[in-house]
Amino acid sequence: MSSSHYKLFIDETGHPHQNHKSTHFTLVGVIIEDKNQTELKIKADQLRFKYWDKTNIVFHSEEIGHKIGDFKQFADDKALGIRFEKQFLGFLNSCPIYIIAAVIDKAKAYKTGWNVETILAKASEALVLDYMSFLYGQNAQGRIVYESSGATRDKIYLASFHQYLDPRSTHCADFVDVRKKLTSITFANKLNHDTEMQIADIFSYAAISKFQQSLGKKFDKKSYEQKIITIFENKLLSMPSGTSKPEKKEYYSRIKGLSILPIDKPKKKAKNKEKTA
């Protein structure tokens, strides 16, 4: 009998449409055990109250990075900004969460023949598959919470979820009694102010920075980008060290953590032509 219960909060960054200025479309998921949600909110609210004397501040990646909106005070007072960044990164590092992410390179995706629906479905499927593997590896139950993006996108996310519930689906070949593990999907809007969704937004920037780093981009060791990448890597879902149970290892071995899509096809080796006399 499953005893642990988890939630997966999924936030999107960028836009899947080809004509949108964003070069990437990213989904980031924050996995948290139900019993840890209160602790997370308390820590986040303590940080908010310390710098704003109120708790309804939204941690938004773009505003933090550009020091605008509620974060403009850190542009006006650099010393205060340094203190906040240190404490904010410390908060992220202490969060009792796991991260999973999918980064879609839009130029490559459209060159491959993908469209908006394909991009949304592939990104969602990557996260759902990682989450399912995690739940089965943990022998736990879980639900999914998407940030609502409108009827069109939400419909695609629902389809990605429901295909795992269909026993006839090829995706479920290695998962038994899916409905007992993956119990529900819900959609939340930004007005809910879920701390978990805000953290997912923060790590979306980290996921894209990590992808850029894999392509050769360099970040200064003291930069915000490098610091957030390091925390992102530490929180990325992977097989726990010391895992010995064969079934648990089998499920965890399927977890990508960070999926970069589309995947490059392996290059075919050129056949050596036989020399003729």
What amino acid occupies position 163?
A: Q
Q: In the structure, what pLDDT confidence band is assigned to residue 277 with cuts at 50, 70 and 90? A: very low
Residue 189, domain member (yes or no): yes
Question: What pLDDT, in 10s, does the model give residues 212-247?
Answer: 998 899 999 999 899 999 999 999 999 988 888 888
Q: What are 159-174's pLDDT values in tens digits? A: 877 777 765 665 555 6
Q: Does any domain span residue 59?
A: yes
The reply to whether the predicted model has a pTM over 0.85 is yes
CA distance 128 to 253: 15
Its domain, for residue 214, covers 5-261
Does residue 18 sit within a domain? yes
Structure tokens at 199: 């953290």
Instruction: Give percent helix, percent strand, percent coil of the chain, each to the nearest 5.
Output: 50, 15, 30
Q: Which two tokens stand for residue 189?
A: 């809007």
Q: Which amino acid is at 89?
A: L
Please report the sign of the dihedral spanned by the C-alpha atoms of residue 149, residue 264, residue 20, residue 17: negative
Residue 86 inside a domain? The answer is: yes
d(CA 192, CA 208): 25
Whether the per-residue pLDDT at 271 is higher than 70: the answer is no
275 in a structural domain: no
Residue 204 has pLDDT above 70, yes or no: yes
DSSP 8-state assignment for residue 186: E
CATH of the domain at 239: 3.30.420.10
Is 276 domain-assigned?
Answer: no
Q: Is residue 186 part of a domain?
A: yes
Total domains in the chain come to 1
In a domain, 128, yes or no: yes
User: Residue 146 is encoded by which pair of tokens?
Assistant: 């998407």
Residues 29, 98: contact at Cβ < 8 Å?
A: no
* Residue 64: pLDDT over 70: yes
pLDDT digits (tens, 9 = 90+) for 173-196: 567 778 888 888 899 887 678 999
